[in-house]
Amino acid sequence: MKLYRAKDYYDMSRKAANIISAQVIMKPNCVLGLATGSTPVGIYKQLIEWYNKGVLDFSRVKTANLDEYKGLTKDNDQSYYYFMRENLFRHVNINEANTNIPDGTETDAIKEAARYEEAIKELGGIDLQLLGLGHNGHIGFNEPSDIFPKETHIVDLQESTIEANKRFFASIDQVPRQAYTMGIGTIMSAKKILLVVSGEDKAQILHDVIKGPVSPSVPASILQLHPDVIIVADEEALSEF
Ligand code: GLP
């Protein structure tokens, strides 16, 4: 694992955006694995700025998002589809046909999980997977468990995740209880992984992820076993080191 120290959220976003830009420049038809949550928003802003300056071209880039809430339609402003459109896709020249997100409206969970896993295989795998970190160590929506789930699947969200994500909804009752997520195996198959972490509230879990035992009780700890992981974290997130 390579660890890059950033001064603050802005610096973290810029450093991570640089790594994604390098990927797009080196391989214009690359497959980017993308993430939602508040942490990547600054990265997407920076990528849009560089796109507007003519530095970046997304016309041949393909994307696959980590996860999606089950039951939310694309036009629901809390769906990850909506998030990606508003925070990145509609601002750059990406071809919508080249973007992939699990379909939250598909009620047959086994069918949707298999379809999504297959879609990623058809893309030829992910070149660079961006990840945020949940407070309980989750990546995508792979919650702490006694196993590392291999492939895309449906999950029951933990109370702590529902609690953390309620800030985006009008009330906690509106937070979906289930989501589709890439599995740990899907994520670990990415050629390169970029984990971004910001804020003091993530300091303890980031420490556990990097220094603790590899255990499905801290899903992101599996990243210790991946051959090419870059972590960009700000000073606050690194305050336990
Ligand atoms: C959600 C997403 C994760 C994300 C996490 C942390 O649960 N499914 O992919 O990493 O939130 O979000 P934030 O960056 O807002 O702390």
Q: What does the domain layout of the chain look like in residue ranges? A: 2-234
Whole-number Å distance, alpha carbon 132 to ligand 1 midpoint, is: 6
Task: Tell me which DSSP letter residue 156 carries.
Answer: E
pLDDT score of 52: 98
Query: For domain 2-234, which CATH number applies: 1.10.1060.10, 1.10.3720.10, 3.40.50.150, 3.40.50.1360?
Result: 3.40.50.1360
- For residue 181, the surrounding DSSP H or E stretch is strand 178-181
User: Per-residue b/e over 33-68, b at no fewer than 16 CB within 10 Å?
Assistant: bbbbbebbbbbbbbbbebbeeeebebeebbbbbbbb
Q: Mean pLDDT, to the nearest integer, of 74-82?
A: 96
39 lines ligand 1 (CB under 6 A): yes
Task: Tell me which DSSP letter residue 211 carries.
Answer: H
Q: Mean pLDDT, to the nearest integer, of 216-220?
A: 98
Whole-number Å distance, alpha carbon 51 to ligand 1 midpoint, is: 25
pLDDT score of 216: 98
Q: What number does the ligand 1 atom closest to the CA of 202 have? A: 16
Q: Whose C-alpha lies nearest to ligand 1, atom 11?
A: 37
Tell me whether residue 142 is one of the annotated catalytic residues.
no
Residue type, 153: H
pLDDT score of 215: 98
Per-chain mean pLDDT for the chain: 97
- The pLDDT tens digits for 87-126 are 999 999 999 999 999 999 999 999 999 999 999 999 999 9
Tell me whether residue 138 is one of the annotated catalytic residues.
yes
Beta partners for residue 67, in sequence order? 181
Tell me whether residue 67 is one of the annotated catalytic residues.
yes
Residue to mutate, 70, 156, 162, 165, ligand 1, most ligand atoms under 8 Å from C-beta: 165
pTM of the complete model: 0.97
Q: Mean pLDDT, to the nearest integer, of 79-84?
A: 97
Tell me whether residue 117 is one of the annotated catalytic residues.
no
Contact assessment for residue 144 and residue 213, using Cβ atoms and an 8 Å cutoff: no
Report residue 43's pLDDT band, with 50, 70 and 90 as the boundaries: very high
Share of the chain above pLDDT 70, in %: 100
CA–CA dist 205, 230 (Å, integer): 17
pLDDT score of 148: 98
- The pLDDT tens digits for 122-162 are 999 999 999 999 999 999 999 999 999 999 999 999 998 89
Phi, psi dihedral angles at 206 (to 5 degrees): -65, -40
CA–CA dist 180, 54 (Å, integer): 35
Lowest mean pLDDT among 76-80, 99-103, 163-167: 163-167
pLDDT score of 114: 98
